[in-house]
Structure 1
Amino acid sequence: MGPRILILARGYLGSHMSAPGIRATAQARVLAEHVPGAQVTLAGPNEDAEQPADGAYRVTRWSARNLLQLAASHDIIISSMLPPHIAVFYPWKRYVVDLFSQYAMEWMEVGMQHYEGRHRDAWAERTRAVLGMQLTLADFILTCNERQRDSYIGMMTSLGLISPRVYEADPTLRRYIDSAPHGIRPELPVPGKRVLRGVRPGFGETDRIILWNGGIIQWYDPATLIEALRLLGRDDIKLLFLGAAYPGIKELGKGVRFQDAKAIAARNGQLNRTIFFEEGWVSHEEAKQYVLEADISACTYFDNMETRYSHRTRFVDLIWGELPFICTHGDVLAEEVAQEGWGLVVPEGDAPALARAIEKLLDDREFHARCKANLAAARPRLQWSATMQPLIRFCREEGEPVSPKWERVPGLAQRLAVYTARRAVFNRYDAALKRRSERREAAEKKERLRQERLARLGAGSAAK
């Protein structure tokens, strides 16, 4: 009998998944197939996720009520954010934290959009506390690329987790923290029914289609792409922003960037003429048809620390679909685009350069074909069974982790306490913000009703 493995997905599972749900589902499949005798349970926050047709693993819902029961009945627990409650099983369970984003930088960006002043400071302190707790609890850590791995090794060193004993056991640290990039769909890209040309209003049979594959959140720069299309002034080029509100992630809804992008397109006269927006979230299955029907893809963002450590998972479907794409300088995948010849890379905020890149990729058929061939060549090394080899290896191994559990106990106790305190402080600010918002809404409603009453009185007087 193999290990009992529990994967706690932090994103929605099922038809409408974003990167966290897609990655957790792929991990369940890979571990069920490649770890001998493994009994895999995939648990998500939503109730409507279906069981896999072949029964390779079990799907269930997890919540605060059943979390401890789920954890108690498994040997290995995997999550992108391990809930602090499961630390009660620390001596007996093996924990994997899947840090496929550099959350310190990503959450800094989230904090800049959603919070101000001391509330933002409390958010940053909570972020540091939760990451410290995650790194200390984990027996094995995954990242999505080598830059992320280096940054987390730095954090682990500052937390005292890379002790002489750990280094002696594994000078490479690969058995403690390793890279596992986001993989691609296992099936081959075979075009199906059309979803745009001749189907969606505004998309003609001969139109050239650019796909923005994913949502529009604070670290993205759709304005530069919209301006590039305005500079080109071509009615035969249509741009579709494929995602809006992320499923199950309230912080990543239709925020400022999304609303600004629509406003710019409307002001330019491009909205629903050459630029289109999906208001919801296209299902994981349907999304591939958009990728296969588009001519190219484009994604522009800011060259900041979030970008430096990111791994743009939205690019993975483009690689799978052999769809040449344009992106901004600064991240790991942008370097691969340039080195591997998957498309073109442009400077941040440079609309003229982006416009030239769009015309090059759309109109130079020979260059476009070379990019497609290069993307096809990358497919074997990006299969989930290949990218998840470090996780497969860990789940197959038996024995003590590289970092002894007893060595981490004092730090874990301290960091659990710090996280609990930081979360309480942040929640107080959150509650105060909610009360202020409710009072403001009540005052606005009261004023609106007063104005409506005055308007009715004025209309009555005029009638007399």
Structure 2
Amino acid sequence: PAALALAVRRATARGELDPTQLDLEHGVGPIESGAVAIPRTTLAGLLAIDQFVELLPSLGESRAVEQAARVRTDADLLPLLRKALEPAYPLPRYLAAHDILVEAFGIGKAFGQRRKILVLTGDALTERMAGPAIRAWNIALALAAEHDVHLVTTNPLATPPPAPFRVSAGKFRELDAPIAWADVVVLQGHVLELAPSLKKQHSGKIVVADLYDPMHLELLEQGKGVADDKRAADLAGVTRVLDAQLERGDFFLCASERQRHFWLGHLAAMGRLSPRLYDADPTTQSLLAVVPFGLPAEPPVRTGPGLRSSLGIGGTDHVVLWAGGVYSWFDPLTLVRAIDRLRRNRGDVRLVFLGMKHPNPEVAEMDIGTRTIRLADSLGLTGKHVYFNEQWVPYHERQNWLLDANCGVTTHYEHVETTFAFRTRVLDYLWAGLPIVTTDGDAFADLVRAERLGVVVPAEDDAALAKALEKALYDEEFAAGCVERLAVVAQRFAWPEALKPLVEFCRDPRPAADRLPGSADLVKTPSVRGRAMLRRDVDLVREYLAAGGASELARRVGGRALKVAKQRLRRG
């Protein structure tokens, strides 16, 4: 009705026809039988509506054909209709009618509804935020432009800076109320284990699981010094946490294409890449999207003192910055040895570790930090060529330290954590325009090499690292070229760009295709019955016995029974 009414108003407005000329409110006078002049632009609109009525029977038939062939639901189409009654002509009377109709029929609410979105993190929300908190904060900030957002941390440290959305801290017992309030829950880390209602009474709630941090791979490296039985138990526990997220989630976020391949494998192993889901979206982009860690859209601006004045470093010294914490999966020892090499020829080289003490007290100090300080002490570098800033620099002040540096560095070992890692500190180097020196093996090393943003070196090679640092610090032409290219690449990682897949999903949030209650596969396949089923099962038994004997057969049968039980629980 609104579209038809707007079509009539468009016709009269284009023809500049007075719609009140036959209004009875003007009084009843002598009956006039003379013709009323109607412009062709007005008549065209009115005749089109008349023809629409004439064509309705055939339109109904063609619509039935189209509906029978549909493979997308109304929910899939809804994001395309956020401006379902968009004004098409800049005519004052037409625009006035548009506003009246949108308000009267509630079109804006129906097609552009604000969602209630809960963002959950387990990290400390303070002036000194680490990666998970920074990511949760920027997710909340981006979504708050279109929705009602509540950011909640389960960490007791919650003294956040001012925000255009609600921020609070809550123990796991206090999460039920915000979860019940929300239409969509975005979570990360171990938070799902602290919110059991998402698996029970709120099991139908739409959940976005942020998998940007493959924490089980970190734990493999971090737990090297732990007793074998405890290390295995810790790893099994973290893996169960991730399994629960992968089983429960409706939409997943990862940080890179490498990670996307990794998590697709995990989802396949969990049975989530089902025919039902594949038939709905063969690309699986609607299930798992690349949402990298981002950086501010605006370039950094100095607002206060940086590392030079804070640590007593000279204005002409050449500074290498390690922007972030020192964790077990990094290799700061090779870096310190490289500085020891370089300072023999370049006496003004300085290495600064931005923050040794993690802002979240629940993150235990790691032995690698102590070993790094001891090595620098033993080489006589501490306070002369190597500086350790003990306290974490506040998030909104870090640009002052970045702008005092000449290049950024990250070094790590060659292991599986590196392969799938996304070193968020490198984004700060991009943001500040610092030439990057990095160990090979991760996604950012590929980016630095491909875009010529710095130098990539082999793992644990202090001689190559010293040479690379010298080039980044003292080759002015090379450094200037890196800075120019860094400015272009940085735009790809701005938070508004990075978070686009999540923003789009939250405009039309929906359960994953395989979690829709009572839904059927879009592509029908005949079920296996009778002798065909028996032959299939016999073939499987032979395959399992050949692969691992009776134990493998027992394991497979148990896994199949568990899968069937889970499917029945999900349907029921």
Deviation at 1:262, TM superposition (A): 0.5
Equivalent residue for 1:88?
Answer: 200
1:209 aligns with 2:319: yes
Equivalent residue for 2:274?
Answer: 163
Equivalent residue for 2:506?
Answer: 395
Deviation at 1:101, TM superposition (A): 1.6
Mark the CA change 1:104 to 1:21 in structure 2 (over 3 Å): closer, same or farther. Answer: same
The one of 247, 250, 256 equivalent to 2:359 is 247
The one of 108, 132, 136 equivalent to 1:24 is 136
The one of 299, 321, 335 equivalent to 1:225 is 335
Moved >4 Å (runs of 4+): 405-408, 410-415
Mark the CA change 1:223 to 1:281 in structure 2 (over 3 Å): closer, same or farther. Answer: same
Describe the superposition over 1:281-336 as per-residue Cα deviations: whole angstroms up to 9, x where unpaired.
11112221111110111111101100000000011111111111101000001100
Mark the CA change 1:50 to 1:263 in structure 2 (over 3 Å): closer, same or farther. Answer: closer
Mark the CA change 1:127 to 1:199 in structure 2 (over 3 Å): closer, same or farther. Answer: closer
For residues 296 and 428 of structure 2, the distance between their equivalents in structure 1, rounded to whole angstroms, comes to 7
Equivalent residue for 2:474?
Answer: 363
Q: Does the 8 Å contact 2:355/2:389 carry over to 1?
A: yes
Q: Does the 8 Å contact 2:260/2:289 carry over to 1?
A: yes
Deviation at 1:52, TM superposition (A): 3.0
Code of the residue aligned with 2:221 in structure 1: it is E
Equivalent residue for 1:445?
Answer: none
SS of 2:502's partner is helix
Q: Does the 8 Å contact 1:47/1:60 carry over to 2?
A: no
1:40 aligns with 2:149: yes
For residues 247 and 128 of structure 2, the distance between their equivalents in structure 1, rounded to whole angstroms, comes to 32
Mark the CA change 1:17 to 1:413 in structure 2 (over 3 Å): closer, same or farther. Answer: farther
1:100-249 mapped onto 2 (5 Å cutoff): 100-113=212-225, 115-201=226-312, 203-232=313-342, 233=344, 234-248=346-360
Describe the superposition over 1:22-60 as per-residue Cα deviations: whole angstroms up to 9, x where unpaired.
000000111111x3xx1100112235334635xx31111
Aligned length: 406
Deviation at 1:180, TM superposition (A): 0.2
Choose 345-354 or 234-243, whichever is displaced more: 234-243
Choose 57-66 or 363-372, whichever is displaced more: 57-66
1:351 aligns with 2:459: no
SS of 2:438's partner is strand
Equivalent residue for 2:209?
Answer: 97
Equivalent residue for 2:169?
Answer: 61
Q: Does the 8 Å contact 1:9/1:20 carry over to 2?
A: yes
Q: Does the 8 Å contact 2:277/2:512 carry over to 1?
A: no
Deviation at 1:194, TM superposition (A): 3.5
Choose 229-238 or 307-316, whichever is displaced more: 229-238
Gaps of 5+ in 2: 1-112, 520-561, 568-572
Percent identity (aligned): 33
1:394-433 mapped onto 2 (5 Å cutoff): 394-406=505-517
Equivalent residue for 1:446?
Answer: none
1:3 aligns with 2:115: yes
Q: Does the 8 Å contact 1:136/1:411 carry over to 2?
A: no
The one of 71, 78, 89 equivalent to 2:186 is 78
Q: Does the 8 Å contact 2:124/2:157 carry over to 1?
A: no
1:266 aligns with 2:377: yes
SS of 1:142's partner is strand
Mark the CA change 1:263 to 1:91 in structure 2 (over 3 Å): closer, same or farther. Answer: closer
Describe the superposition over 1:427-449 as per-residue Cα deviations: whole angstroms up to 9, x where unpaired.
xxxxxxxxxxxxxxxxxxxxxxx
Equivalent residue for 1:450?
Answer: none
SS of 1:100's partner is coil
SS of 2:329's partner is coil
For residues 247 and 120 of structure 1, the distance between their equivalents in structure 2, rounded to whole angstroms, comes to 25
TM-score (norm 1): 0.83
For residues 335 and 213 of structure 1, the distance between their equivalents in structure 2, rounded to whole angstroms, comes to 20
For residues 399 and 351 of structure 1, the distance between their equivalents in structure 2, rounded to whole angstroms, comes to 51
Describe the superposition over 1:380-406 as per-residue Cα deviations: whole angstroms up to 9, x where unpaired.
221111111111111111444333244
Q: Does the 8 Å contact 1:110/1:251 carry over to 2?
A: no
Deviation at 1:120, TM superposition (A): 1.0
TM-score (norm 2): 0.68
Q: Does the 8 Å contact 1:245/1:252 carry over to 2?
A: no
Q: Does the 8 Å contact 2:126/2:161 carry over to 1?
A: no
Deviation at 1:369, TM superposition (A): 0.5
Choose 128-137 or 82-91, whichever is displaced more: 82-91
SS of 1:83's partner is helix
RMSD, aligned CA: 2.0
